Structure 1
Amino acid sequence: MSDYEDEKSDVIEKRHEHVLPGEHVYEGVLFFGYTPPDILDAVKDFEVRDSDIFLFLSERFPTIDTDVADNNHWFTGTTWLQELTWLVMNDGNFDEAIQKPVYFRSPFLEFKDEDLNEVGLDLANPMPSPRILKTHLPTKLMPSQIQTRDCKTIVLFRNPKDLCVSYYHFYRASSSFGDFRGTWEDFFYMFLDGHVDHGSWFDYTRSWWARRQDPRVCILYFEDMKSDLRREIDRLCDFLEKPLQEGVRDAITGHCLFDSMRSNPMTNHLDMFIVFVTGEVGDWKNLFTVTQSELFDKFYKDELGDLNIPFKFTLD
């Protein structure tokens, strides 16, 4: 066995004892209780419309209870893309955008929280078209009708080192994950092993990268949105066939700048929760040790190195 295989075996054996509330495995993918098996069954049979827009997102973060997070009202790339897409498809309707939370305008398809009256399928089914639907599912668990309908799919990727660090902060801050109190090193190994909610990031990414040539699929990158938001809004308009006027595109850009979004209560759950995550590209350097970075690189090369996905780990 090679030195790399020895290292990988050691990592796989180093599973953390942490158990998610309602933890279960569905078709080989780990989920917490807010994504129960009956919902996952129903998602597969979900009635898809040709006008639907699905947002498949690699950042899999629920919100964070206000009494456990520091005073940082931030959001994730998931919320960012939801708001952008909704505004593009609704001709920059800012009046509604500042009055109705994004998670009701763009429901989380496989999420079920009856206490918050946020059951994704119940919200999605009666919505008028075009619906904008968020999910973190790999291709094998997506609604089966996506394959035959003329709907559009937008996939948002983020470099995995920053994503891993952000996910760690969410695990530590959110009671939804069962009051995780492990160390960064514990979570690092959990992430590599796919022992986190919604399962392996590596499997998810491979499954969606394989669909990149489908004309109904558009892949965006968090780092590109940070680097030139207006350019990415133009890309969205082209893909979604929404020829908005320049003034509307400019207004959407201003509304969706990172600093504007994090102070908007309709996009960061300030009505019930707050979200704790840094949106800086390259933040992974603040937690990764040199050894961890090298080990992560070996895992990545073994799992996805043949795909040549153009991730950016820093912004010049």
Structure 2
Amino acid sequence: MYPELLDVGTVGQEKRVPFLEYYLRERGSVDHIDNMKTMASPRLMKSHLPVQLFPTQAFTKKSKIIYVGRNPKDNAVSYYYFYKSLAGIGYYKGSWGTFLQMYLNDHVVWGGWSHHCLGWWKHNQEANFLYLKYEDVKKDERGTVKKIASFLGREVTEKTVDRIVKYCSFDNMKTNPAVNRENEPDLDCSVSPFIRKGVIGDWKNHFTVAQNEQIEQYYKERLGNTDLQFEW
């Protein structure tokens, strides 16, 4: 029905799933919002916006929303490498330690981790909202595909689940030019590939004992009295 969505090997991800707040018309790119206006329903779009900046129409019109959160330790490490490779953030040249302090003080693009995760978590009980944790997705990819299909009201065969799991596997996406953004002019993949590791626990290769204690205190203060909890 939508061949451009199925052709995952040749059609770029940004075309299949436009990035809501990504606007580069001044550099010759197409405004993603303009793209969305021409797409047939059902449309797919993505965003990194915190909930307070997200278009309210998505809630009033009961759009289907899927949020994916990740534990703060691995998220901080992943974000550090993204900062280093992205032109829009100035190809960050600072140290890991300095970046971690920025992260813990909410001085990063798209806002602080805890505010972001908790802001969206407030919608967790709404019928049109699905909150996923990256760690759970990694542990059960097939189960996650089925959960998303059920949330979207779609029936999927086991064969279709197999296809989706295959195409969405880390190894496949890392080598897929339609996803890995290796030719993206604003990303320096020689510094850090866009699809980097995708594992749980890479934080252990970066945090000192003191840094780990610091982020665990941050986690306790921000999420300690909430029912939202992550594993690492």
Q: TM-score, normalised by structure 2?
A: 0.90
Which aligned segments of 4 or more residues in structure 1 are displaced greater than 6 angstroms? Answer: none
- Partners of 2:2 and 2:176 in 1: CA distance: 18
Structure 1 contact 91–244 (Cα < 8 Å) conserved: no
RMSD across aligned positions (CA)? 1.9
Structure 2 contact 19–46 (Cα < 8 Å) conserved: yes
Opposite residue 253 of structure 1, the aligned amino acid is V
One of 77, 102, 111 as aligned partner of 1:199: 111
- The yes-or-no answer on 1:295 pairing with 2:214 is yes
Larger relative contact order, structure 1 or 2 (CA cutoff 8 Å, min sep 6): 1
Q: What is residue 155 of structure 1 aligned with on the other side?
A: 67
Structure 2 contact 64–128 (Cα < 8 Å) conserved: yes
Structure in which a larger fraction of residues adopt strand: 1
One of 197, 204, 207 as aligned partner of 1:285: 204
Equivalent residues in 2 for 1:250-269, closer than 5 Å? 250-269=162-181
Structure 2 contact 84–91 (Cα < 8 Å) conserved: yes
Q: TM-score, normalised by structure 1?
A: 0.67
One of 105, 125, 140 as aligned partner of 2:52: 140
What's the secondary structure of 1:220's corresponding residue? Answer: strand
Q: Identity percentage over the alignment?
A: 35
Q: What is residue 131 of structure 2 aligned with on the other side?
A: 219
Shift of 1:173: 2.2
One of 8, 23, 26 as aligned partner of 1:112: 23
Opposite residue 208 of structure 2, the aligned amino acid is T
- The yes-or-no answer on 1:239 pairing with 2:158 is no
Q: What is residue 97 of structure 1 aligned with on the other side?
A: 8
Q: Cα deviation per residue 1:166-200 (whole Å; 9 max; x = unaligned)?
A: 11111122222113211111000000111111111
Q: Comparing 129-138 with 114-123, which one deviates more in the overlay?
A: 114-123
Structure 2 contact 4–16 (Cα < 8 Å) conserved: no
Change (3 A) 1:234 1:276: closer
Q: What is residue 83 of structure 1 aligned with on the other side?
A: none
Structure 1 contact 108–134 (Cα < 8 Å) conserved: yes
- Partners of 1:118 and 1:201 in 2: CA distance: 29
Q: What is residue 33 of structure 2 aligned with on the other side?
A: 121
Structure 2 contact 5–16 (Cα < 8 Å) conserved: no
Q: What is residue 179 of structure 1 aligned with on the other side?
A: 91
Structure 2 unaligned regions, length at least 5: none
- The yes-or-no answer on 1:311 pairing with 2:230 is yes
What's the secondary structure of 1:112's corresponding residue? Answer: coil
Q: Cα deviation per residue 1:2-30 (whole Å; 9 max; x = unaligned)?
A: xxxxxxxxxxxxxxxxxxxxxxxxxxxxx
Q: What is residue 72 of structure 1 aligned with on the other side?
A: none
